Structure 1
Amino acid sequence: MIRRPMDKRTFLSHFHTVREGLLLTLAIVCVIAIGTFGYAALEGWSLFDSLYMTVITLSTVGFSETHVLSEPGRWFTIFLIFVGVGVVMVVLTSAANKILERELRWIWRGGHMRDKIQSTSEHTIFCGFGRLAQVAINDLHEARQDIVVIDQNEESIRDAEERGILGVIGDATQDSILIEAGIQRASRLVSLLPKDADNLYVILAARELNPNLFTITRAEYAAGEKRLKQAGANRIVSPYRVGGQKIADGLLRPHVMDFLELAASGTQGDLFIEEIFVPHASPLCGKTLQETDLRAQTDIIIAAIISPEGETHFNPTGSSKIIGGSTLIALGKKSDFHGIEMLILPESTS
């Protein structure tokens, strides 16, 4: 499982828990060692007999003495019972409190999480929290997108919530679980379950519960990809096909691959590809690219224009007209995009 580096607060919490556990364990070991060497010194017993006597004394099981105790040995046993049993009880009580505290916190967080999900809208639902989902979720979370994860594994949901991501424990193929995740208020759903049949059911249920939902799913086989498309999935990802294509492209066109990955990730800040939606009330509507003068004002390059119908026009000329509802595919430095909203959005919202 891919894990993000934990923050300072989480690290300190884990550190204190581990330290407390080590100290309690060390206390028990010390008591057993004191008892073992104490009996060996006072009674002259072997280390095994001394250890056995120490363990049955601390466990209070009531077995008979290993050998007849001398008076100093009996006084030592009294001391061991008061001190040793006290330490053992403290350790057991502390362990029980930790378990109870964790479960109570989990129950409280479950109710708190449901309340937060109920107040969340326009979020993205992820069905499944495997490796593929975690990579996508990490990027979306860094972009401050609201996310709700559905997974049957309780530990996976705990891990998601430690990252600040909302989670629901359950089977994503159940309508009630999708509703609990707020599917009727969500804007996107990503189904990354291992089986194509499960993903197909999730897409069908999602279409019924929220017809306007944008859906992405994975497909293991070509037949499953066809069925998922028929079910209404907007995007279908085949991990093996995509991975194979990337390997082939890396061998045949390595520089092109480096360029596209650099532009898509924008991690180095020198190059960035972004899509810019043009609302119908935008001041750019009805103007040509030359009239908008975007290149001079922002230093970005418009690589393509996607019409509201989904048609893509690559390398548009200066006479290409921008219409409302279209999407601009822009290329430039990340800093060049900072002022683009001022030019794209209507004056009342910019």
Structure 2
Amino acid sequence: MRKITRKILTRLPTRYVATGVALIALLFAYGIIGSYIILGLGPIDSIYYAVITMTTVGYGDYIPDTGIEKLFATTLALGGVVLLAYVFNVILTNFQEKVGKYSKGVRKMNAIDKMDEYYILCGYGRVGKVVLEELIQRNQNVILIEKNEENSANIEENDSVVVINEDATENNLIAKLAGEKCQSVIISIGNDVTNLFIVLTVRETNPDAWIVSRCSKLENKSRLKRAGANKIVSPEIVGGKDLYYQSAKPHSLRLTVRHTSDEIYDEFEVISKHNCTLENIDYHIPGIETPLRRRIITKDLQDGKNFRDYLKSHPDAKKSLDNLYTMVNNLHSHVISGPDNTALELLIKDLEKKEEIIGKNLSDKEIAKITKKELEK
């Protein structure tokens, strides 16, 4: 019974406190009027009797004699017990809830303070879930802002993932978090008006922030751009994963290199060393502008070792890979993402010692010109 009572009390809305106080006032008036009329007490004594009876003190100086007097005293005492207990329990419950929320909020802010860098993700709907998975897969620190607590109830919070169940458009919350440590603000809410407001808020307080916003209606794309969004993505066209790729653009590059298949593991050792992720490999076939793309998405050195061992134990696979490298003249591109620009710069320096680097962030058209010249030789 105690557990059931507590469960009911914790669900009582705060507005019931005012209702309870109003009912106590009515009961008090009932006690004063009844004491005056039924017991025949004076005004002061009526107030006194109403108070001691409602609070069940009952000093015994006024004892009901008749049936109606006893009925009046009984209803006044029972009403006082029920209403006072109700109001005090509601007040105590709401106080405990607020203290609990405050303590929880303090713990979350301490976790955020300990993060060196982080991404802010606003909205945890169909698209937001995909973005969060992409960020977690790459061991990124994430602050998720989702006002609907039920939507994010199943997310496991830790040192790298903090969930804040508040409205991103209120209390200047997003403006406080989008500071120097913020890698990117990703807005994946389905309402373009809300997204626009968040973009304006972030851009006003942090002119250097990298903002990627979802756009549900293409006609609102220009508005979000003018408001200050660096990238606008329509998931209905390009899919939710591009929100992550666009947000990581300041810390990713496309590196066009030349090396043989025997040097794959050596290259991946450097990538893993600098805590970078090999997103994909583009093989540039001479005479064809669009490359042959292979998705990788890994930073684990063990994956590189497994691939190396597989090629050693499967000569047919090794021969097929060698044929592919021969066909592209050993020229291909890697899309590599990293924790920051410094890591990518160090990675390039180390790779230059091991292989020929053709260029950085070259377009397919620029690479096609290079392969065309090689065909003409």
TM range (shorter): 0.3 to 0.5
**TM-score scaled by structure 1?**
0.46
Q: Between Structure 1 and Structure 2, whose CA radius of gyration is higher?
A: 2
TM-score, scaled relative to structure 2: 0.43
